Amino acid sequence: MSHDIQDILTTWDYDPDGFTVRIIRGDDGKEKIQLRLDLGLLQMEVDGRPDGLRPQGCESWLDYYQREQEVYQEEHPGETYLLGSEDCARLLREGVQYYHRYLSFWHLERYELCARDTARNLRLFALVRAHAPSDREKLQFDQWRPYVVMMHARAVATPLIGMRDFDTALQVIDAGIAGVREFLSDYNQEHRSEQCQELVQLERWRTEVVDKKKSAEREQPYHPLTALRRKLEQAVAEERFEEAAELRDEIRKLEASSL
């Protein structure tokens, strides 16, 4: 068996001005994500760790250290669990894997899976904020919090807007805005809010969505499938993103059949 990937690279051009990603069916029959880079490609699993590994038998290092923290707190009540520098290095490398994957999901319009992975990295940042051995290591992770908060809000709200559920989408965007403002407050940077691009983009997007809602209200009344929409909103609120994807597909099929 040849290990040379030149045939793949030759038949799949790299676009330096775009984001070149696709879904393929792996030899194991499962979907894989391939991200084309200038010097090759990344291949990632859809579920679990993007590289398919299970460190210490856990789904990820994040799951492993969350479990370690819980055990430590039970055995040492009142004491603070601390991650080591090597622990943080492992978690940072792993977080970058999820970054590549959630961006891929975004460009593939697999919004629920993008939301799942951004929510996961936000949990990572929270763990490190609480248990990093130093402020320097804490900031290695937390500096990306506004961006991931913004991407999470976009991933959750975009399909809702597509279904004209503007009220729920605005709630999601408002939560994103609050999350970025919380970050600025945590670091006493409220005075720099106008320079925070993630905050500026979310607030601008909110204005656009409000305008879309007003425009839709002036058009012919829209009658959503109330029960399914309510389930979808609940699934999104509880971050059950795979269920939300199934509900969204069901709503679309029923809407198409009623045309």
Regarding predicted confidence, which is higher, 73 or 216? 73
Prediction pTM value:
0.83
What's the rounded Cα separation, in Å, for the pair 138 and 58? 23
Query: pLDDT digits over 120-130, tens only?
Result: 999 999 999 99
Q: What is the DSSP string of 88-133?
A: HHHHHHHHHHHHHHHHHHHHTT-HHHHHHHHHHHHHHHHHHHHH-S
Query: pLDDT digits over 62-75, tens only?
Result: 999 999 999 999 99
Comparing C-alpha atoms, which of 170, 190, 169 is closest to residue 180? 190
Which CATH number is correct for 79-257, 1.10.10, 3.30.360, 1.25.40, 1.20.1270?
A: 1.25.40
Query: pLDDT digits over 232-248, tens only?
Result: 877 887 778 888 888 88
Residue 131: half-sphere exposure toward Cβ, Cα within 13 Å: 23
Give the pairing type, strands 40-45 and 31-37: antiparallel
Residue ranges per structural domain of the chain: 79-257
Query: pLDDT digits over 164-176, tens only?
Result: 899 999 999 999 9
Residue 259 pLDDT level (bands cut at 50, 70, 90): low
Write out the H or E segment, with its range, that includes residue 161.
helix 145-162
At residue 226, the pLDDT reads 67
Residue 28 pLDDT level (bands cut at 50, 70, 90): very high
The three-point CA angle 201-156-187 to 5° equals 50
Residue type at 95 in one-letter notation: G
Query: pLDDT digits over 84-108, tens only?
Result: 999 999 999 999 999 999 999 999 9
What is the overall mean pLDDT for the chain?
A: 92
